[in-house]
Amino acid sequence: MSMFFSEAAWCCLAVTAALGSIVLCKHKSPGQLGTPVVWLAGLCGGAYLLVLPFFWSVTLFSLSCFLVHMYSADQELLPVDQKAVLVTGCDSGFGHALAKNLDKMGFTVFAGVLNEKSSGAEALRSNCSKRITVLQMDITDPEQIKDAYSKVVEKVQDKGLWALVNNAGILGFPTDGELIPMIEYKRCMEVNFFGPIGVTKAFLPLLRKSKGRLVNVSSMGGGVPLPKMAAYNSTKAALTMFSSIMRQELSAWGVKVSVVQPGGFQTSLAGTNDVWIKKEKDILDHLTQEQLRDYGQDYILLQKNFLPLIGSKSCPDFTPVLQDIQHAISAQSPFPFYTPGRMVSIWLYFAFLCPTYLLDYCVGKLLFNRKYVPRALRVPK
């Protein structure tokens, strides 16, 4: 009988692997179906290792097939049909690339920009079709949000807005949490959290009318604690929780909510070197004498080396992010979470499941170089 059980378990594993391969070949986006297939393979692999009785092996196999079918059956993309999409933060980065891609797909695109005279805004006007409208939209300015809403309503009229993509955000100055000025914490929260909330509240009536989509671009950092990112990661964690609650509340209205949690990509989120120099000066101006003595000015000045470190660990190809956002906008049954980027889903699951001390050790060893330490920690007492 044990041989029969073994053959049954091998059969379950083989067929599930085949189904998983079909699903992965059919859907290229790495953030969509990789995680379910891994879980299914784990279930069937566990059944084999435990050598379950035949009844439970078949039951587990049937459940696995059902889950694969559930994740693969409703992946048809809905027709564009002149649907309108608003994307914030289109001056550069994800937002700029997404606005151009959606325009090519045939969507009516409203591209919100921080500066309507920026090179990114001009590029959208020059290189895209007449379906795209560039909107002056500082998401921290209620008057600009109100003005953008009026222009969107004027163009979409009774059709409503199909999708809102809250993409605009800032990184802040990555350094020790004690050194980040309160004004920097407040600025990050204003742009990364209160801004998307303000835009969402303004445009939700249009989304409810179309039974459309709300897509919030968060970050892997919203679920994985990373040194020097106290301001940025805290805002993204808040945005992720806000999105999850809105997903529950808006389901009754037929509005689907998705959170995109990208890993490291080479956007302009970190800002220019001039911006970093100014923020560096702000930090030094806000330090107490005790903090300056314990950390040392040399340590603070070395924090700018974190900028090229971020770049070296980031991916220049936005394709995974764009595919996932487009899927969240267009799929018949979009996923609540997308994790584009190398090993992002693994890090998020690892942060959720593993012991805290192990997480802290791995983050410190694998993601960050502890070469630079505060003055008080390297000078003998």
pLDDT of residue 70: 57
In the structure, what pLDDT confidence band is assigned to residue 238 with cuts at 50, 70 and 90? Answer: very high
More confident residue, 272 or 213: 213
- Report the distance separating Cα 24 and Cα 340, nearest Å: 15
In the structure, what pLDDT confidence band is assigned to residue 217 with cuts at 50, 70 and 90? Answer: very high
| For residue 311, pLDDT beyond 80 | no
Tens-place pLDDT, residues 8-53: 555 655 555 555 544 444 444 444 444 555 555 555 555 555 555 6
pLDDT of residue 81: 87
Q: Which residues are catalytic?
A: 232
- Report the distance separating Cα 123 and Cα 92, nearest Å: 10
| For residue 4, pLDDT beyond 50 | no
- Report the distance separating Cα 381 and Cα 377, nearest Å: 9
pLDDT of residue 280: 85
Lowest mean pLDDT among 10-24, 105-119, 276-290, 329-343: 10-24
- Report the distance separating Cα 62 and Cα 66, nearest Å: 6
Task: Give the mean model confidence (pLDDT) for residues 96-117.
Answer: 96
pLDDT of residue 95: 96
- Report the distance separating Cα 81 and Cα 162, nearest Å: 10
- Residue 185 CB contacts under 8 Å (≥ 6 apart), including other chains: 230, 231, 234
What's the mean pLDDT when you consider all of the chain?
84
pLDDT of residue 8: 56
**DSSP H/E element including 117:** none
Lowest mean pLDDT among 184-193, 211-220, 268-277, 331-340: 268-277
109 and 85 in contact (C-beta within 8 Å)?
A: yes
Tens-place pLDDT, residues 147-194: 999 999 999 988 889 999 999 999 888 889 999 999 999 999 999 999
Give the three-state DSSP class for 268: coil
Helices (H), 191-264: 195-210, 230-250
Radius of gyration of the chain (CA): 24
The strand pair at 132-136 and 108-113 is best described as parallel
Strand partners, 108: 84
Can you give the pTM of this predicted structure? 0.82
- Report the distance separating Cα 179 and Cα 280, nearest Å: 10
Please count the other Cβ atoms lying within 10 Å of the Cβ belonging to residue 141: 15
| For residue 355, pLDDT beyond 50 | yes
pLDDT of residue 51: 56
Give percent of the chain above pLDDT 70: 76
pLDDT of residue 65: 61
Task: Give the mean model confidence (pLDDT) for residues 284-294.
Answer: 91
More confident residue, 338 or 56: 338
Task: Give the mean model confidence (pLDDT) for residues 349-371.
Answer: 82
pLDDT of residue 367: 63
- Report the distance separating Cα 203 and Cα 107, nearest Å: 18
| Residue 125, both tokens | 């006007």
